[in-house]
Structure 1
Amino acid sequence: MNRLFGELIALLGDDRVVLELASREQLSKDFYWYSPILTELLDGKTADVIVYPLNEEEVKRVLSLAVQHEVPVTVRGAGTGNYGQIVPLQGGVLVDVSRMNRILDIGEGYVRVEPGVKISTLEKTLREQRQELCIIPSTYAKSTAAGFVSGGSGGIGSISWGLLWDGNVIEATIITAEAEPRVIRSRGDDLLNYIHSYGTTGVITEVIYRAVPRVEWAQCIASFADLEDSLRFSETLAQDESIPKRSVSTCEWPIPSYFRPLKKVIQDQKHVVILEVDEASLELLQPLLERYNGTITHAIPAANYMKGQGLAEYTWNHTTLWALKADESMTYLQGSFSLDRYMEQIGLIKAKFPDEFYNHFDWMRSGGELIPQQIPLVRFTTKERLYEMIDFCESIGVKIFNPHTYLLEEGGWEAHIQRVIRTKNQNDPKGLLNPGKIGLPLKAPSV
């Protein structure tokens, strides 16, 4: 390993090769601590060295050295993932791409960027040019372009534009882990081998995102005395194509009580729907609010969009973060409910776990289909009780994407895992890219 350290320093210089323990420990973590199960499994896992490449050629040379020495490689963007995606289970080299942060090209309907560009910087730049990204994560302030592709799936905007693989990533440039790394330009269906694959199939050095015309988004909180009213309002709004929207997030009480910075605008015992809608269409909300007994109790005009903390930072898995800040016993699940029976499913869950399961829906589309997507808050007592909740949800038709595992195939990617394994075998023949994140056999058994 010392020989590898020397070669990395010769390649990148002392200032871009980090061996100091405290830095290695800090950069080897993401937000896996949302899960008490992952905390137990991943605490203490640390890279042996951190490197900071500045361009694609340096990435290729780092990978070539790692392959020659048969040392694992894990790639880090900003570390905003929740499942230990960037935690190096077997040590090795952690490649931090945060200094590869240039916006390379903007055209009508697309933007081409290096992997370490922050989503917030990218969105701000696009909006200045009258465009915007189709979807952004709730962690957009810190998350990076390639980090979102490698570890994410959906986010703010998914209510209208779907998930990353619904055409929202146009192309990704991939570097393989071989003695002589190859450059692959992945487009179309082939992107499923790289999106949300935790960097197990290659290292992303460029991303082309789809962009769409900018909308003036107003942010609102709608309050409801009845949970079903809040959900029916959300469903109706989600289906109404006459009202452009970027976010529809429904939170059952007491979840809103965890949003401490919003304390002055949150009404006691009220369920809320956090909205981003076209400011020009706000008046179209009123009939829906009246129909479902709701009231707008807080609003932020479009002129203040992305200036300071926005309401989007209380949606998706940011909701879990606020809950954990208020109550350390909370954790979360992820699940897709059935549009035709989600109210029934909610009723069954609440009857069985009345004080342990709190509903939080981020409505979205996948392949054009509207889905009541949940990131519910659950009160953690034991691992056994948590898996009892998971088993019950699945027994009533709720598809759970388990956030308490770092294994790709156990977290909801099982439908694509065999093609990911085939790609990994082609691009990473020695199995050095983020090893341990796929639990299934990577090589076909010999006959």
Structure 2
Amino acid sequence: MTVKPEWSAGLAGIVGEERLLLGEEQREKLSKDYYWYSPVLEPLLRGKRADGIVQPEAEREVAEVLAYAYRHDIPVTTRGAGTGNYGQAVPLDGGLVLDLSRLDAVLEATDAFVRVQAGVRLGALEKRLREQGKELRIYPSTFMKATVGGFVCGGSGGIGSITYGNLWDGNVLEAVVWTMEESPRRLVVKGAELQAYIHNYGTNGVLTELTLPIAERTEWSQAVAQFDEFEAACRFCYALSLTDSIRKRLVAPVEWPIPSFFKPLVKKLESGAAACLLEVEEGNEAALAALAEAEGGRIGYAVPADRYRQGIGLSDFTWNHTTLWALNADPTLTYLQAGFDPIRFMEQISELKSRFGDELLLHLEFVRSGGTVMPSALPIVRYTTEERLYEIIAFCESIGVGINDPHTYKLESGGRGRLEAMLAAKRANDPKGLLNPGKLQLPVAGSARGDGR
């Protein structure tokens, strides 16, 4: 579809001509995210783009755009900073991209929480909070660019998850959600109702405001513990993760040769060694070294707390930033998203390495999910064919390694979020199915999953 001239006039009347973007280059740029991490998604989404970009600066404008689009049957795909990896912000059916990056006000900050508009950048918010003696509890590796709304609607966990868990573990307190109806409703959602809107890709409501719990500022030192064997690195990281006397923000063992992809860091690392990328509270250097020595390791590169956030940090090489460094080194690589058994993970790691060798390279991020310490992972895969990729996924699942498929844009196929709650909200809030269509399918009669894989 294309935006008809009368629609252009109507939308410009809401947000102003300067915030209705119709140029080809603008539409191309703001219809993309990092879906190209996936060789499966890249050809599927390459040519998709919006017919127009709308950039509201107030909630009132969001509501008016949604009402206008509803009356004219225009699909609406919400966008933050476009740092997602699954095509969350890519419009499959044209229509409008609703760019919320201009809703960037910090509305309230207390000792316990911060209330912000969806377009606030996490990096700027973290800087502001630390200046006030506070800090974010969790954030993604893309936090310098990512928005709060984009993280809540498209992410799950990240740096800090070793202490505070993922988004579903009490890390969102409240959300303001707008429905897409003839007269959009402003919902204030909290408690169990939030399950429908975390990691929802904007498919069942548009989040314009979020309230997040915050923590006291901690002085974080960074260190790399190095080991001759990846298994020893994993045992050390597990022991550290269970040591509550050491406060942690990041515990990430990385198998060689992945550290060789980290160009700004590799000269500071031991060639051939597994590297554990760590952020711990300053003053724990001796305890950290003792834990590493118990598993045959040693502390190598270190950054003191007074240099935290000065230049590139260790978290810039973890979570899905690891994939980006790998792709920069070898464009044929891709990745998976995996969850290991909290008890059997060492056995599972051994089985994967025995089966796939260097075809599957591991880096783990230890998290505390629902109160239980466990390793999550974004393994690097040497991609050959889609068929082989799904053979690897099938083997992972056969040994109890859960896979959230990052090679699909469909929520119900990717295994993310709380599907039944999201579907119920979709029915209630989006009667015409105009919010980010194609990403969340309402099941047809007699089907439990709709058209998912």
Measured against the shorter chain, the TM-score band is: over 0.9
Shift of 1:401: 0.7
Partner of 1:180: 183
- 1:39-438 aligned within 5 A: 39-413=42-416, 416-438=418-440
- Distance in 2 (alpha carbons) for counterparts of 1:428 and 1:303: 49
Partner of 2:451: none
Shift of 1:444: 9.0
Deviates more, 1:73-82 or 1:279-288: 279-288
- Is 1:421–1:442's contact at 8 Å kept on the other side of the alignment? no
Deviates more, 1:49-58 or 1:276-285: 276-285
Shift of 1:272: 0.3
Deviations 1:366-421 (A, max 9, x none): 1111111111101000000000000001011111111000010111237x212211
Partner of 2:450: none
Shift of 1:54: 0.3
Task: Kindly tell me the number of residue pairs found equivalent between the two proteins.
Answer: 444
Query: What is the root-mean-square deviation in Å for CA atoms of aligned residues?
Result: 1.2
Shift of 1:342: 1.2
In structure 2, give the amino acid aligned to 1:379. Answer: R
Deviations 1:235-265 (A, max 9, x none): 0000110000000011100000000111220
Partner of 1:17: 20
- Distance in 1 (alpha carbons) for counterparts of 2:444 and 2:367: 33
In structure 1, give the amino acid aligned to 2:245. Answer: S
Secondary structure of 2:81's match? Answer: coil
Deviations 1:143-178 (A, max 9, x none): 001000000000000000001111111101001101
Structure 2 length-normalised TM: 0.96
Structure 1 length-normalised TM: 0.98
- Distance in 1 (alpha carbons) for counterparts of 2:442 and 2:78: 21
Deviations 1:155-204 (A, max 9, x none): 00000000111111110100110111100011111111100010111111
- Is 1:356–1:378's contact at 8 Å kept on the other side of the alignment? yes
- Distance in 1 (alpha carbons) for counterparts of 2:184 and 2:402: 38
Secondary structure of 2:142's match? Answer: coil
Secondary structure of 2:328's match? Answer: helix
Deviations 1:255-307 (A, max 9, x none): 00000111220211000000000012222112101101111111111112122
Shift of 1:434: 0.4
Deviations 1:6-63 (A, max 9, x none): 1011221111000001110111010010000000111110000001100100000000
- Is 2:342–2:372's contact at 8 Å kept on the other side of the alignment? no
Deviations 1:212-256 (A, max 9, x none): 111001111111111111000000000110000000011100000
List gaps (5 residues or longer) in structure 2. Answer: 448-453
Secondary structure of 1:41's match? Answer: helix
- Is 2:200–2:422's contact at 8 Å kept on the other side of the alignment? yes
- Distance in 1 (alpha carbons) for counterparts of 2:310 and 2:79: 27
Q: Percent identity?
A: 51
* Misfit runs of 4+, over 4 Å: 442-445
Shift of 1:441: 2.1
- Distance in 1 (alpha carbons) for counterparts of 2:23 and 2:311: 34
- Is 1:28–1:87's contact at 8 Å kept on the other side of the alignment? yes
Secondary structure of 2:285's match? Answer: helix
